[in-house]
A and B are shown apart, each in its own frame.
Chain A
Amino acid sequence: MSVNPIISLRGVTKVYGEGPTAFQALKGVDLDIQQGDFVAVMGPSGSGKSTTMNILGCLDVPTGGTYLFKGHHVETLDRDQRALLRRRYLGFVFQGFNLLSRTTALENVELPLLYRGEDKKLRYDMGMAALDKVGLKDWWDHTPAELSGGQQQRVAIARAIVTQPDVLVADEPTGNLDSQRSIEIMELLTDLNRNSGITVLMVTHEPDMAAYARTIVHFRDGLVESIEEGVKA
């Protein structure tokens, strides 16, 4: 393992709610992730996988502990600073695709570039390149309603990688897809990891999918239970 992990969690806790209804979802997570790794996160439902991913993705802040992302102490950053980190370094893929409805594939993919303030020509070129990478170049003017689940998830991946992020965070990206579609998505993620050097963090319940990863992190009751090397390592 290299000495400078891109992501480093130390004693991270997360408490939801306050008072008697407060619930401690994370109880002190320590985790290092190296640049270029492909990590699968597994564990029973409610063990804190999504909570951890949201913190790693700078979507949420830990209640306690420290989170070092590319040298930034994320727990000290405000909303806007975290938004700018996401904009520059992170891409997201969700279980539910989360595309904008009534919006073409290309416009969905271009959206992060718009917030980056890129001009029209560059947005188009980069958007089409990203769609090409996920094999949907010919579907650029279709809205989500006109695409299959697998295609929608590939558009979501194109949107996540269009800004050439350092880290791709994917919470159960194949959770809503059949096994054939799932395999296609996993092959795509593997390709992005191998050939574009993107660090991939992925939550999954399925060992078949976890098998694509180089590192597998097991969660239980808000703690990291074990870390093992994947078959592809």
Chain B
Amino acid sequence: MICCKECIDLLYDYIEGSLDQDTSKSLEEHFEECPPCIAFLNTYKSTTTICRDTLNQIEIPDEVRRALQSFLKEQKGQQDKK
């Protein structure tokens, strides 16, 4: 049986689905016997999801949007004069 260290080293490729069948199988066998690694797998996956959901929420604030707009207008004006 593979050990926990090997199991965790393989997590990335396991989630990507890029492990070959044999490796995938021995990993799943490990999971069956090792609840801590299942907990690790679940929280490893959750980490990505909750970080993405949190950091993805960034919107440009209105005042920044306005500043960018007038900046663009200014730049275009300068280009026009050339």
Do A and B truly interact?
Answer: no
Residues of B participating in the A interface, judged by any CB pair closer than 8 Å: none
Residues of A participating in the B interface, judged by any CB pair closer than 8 Å: none
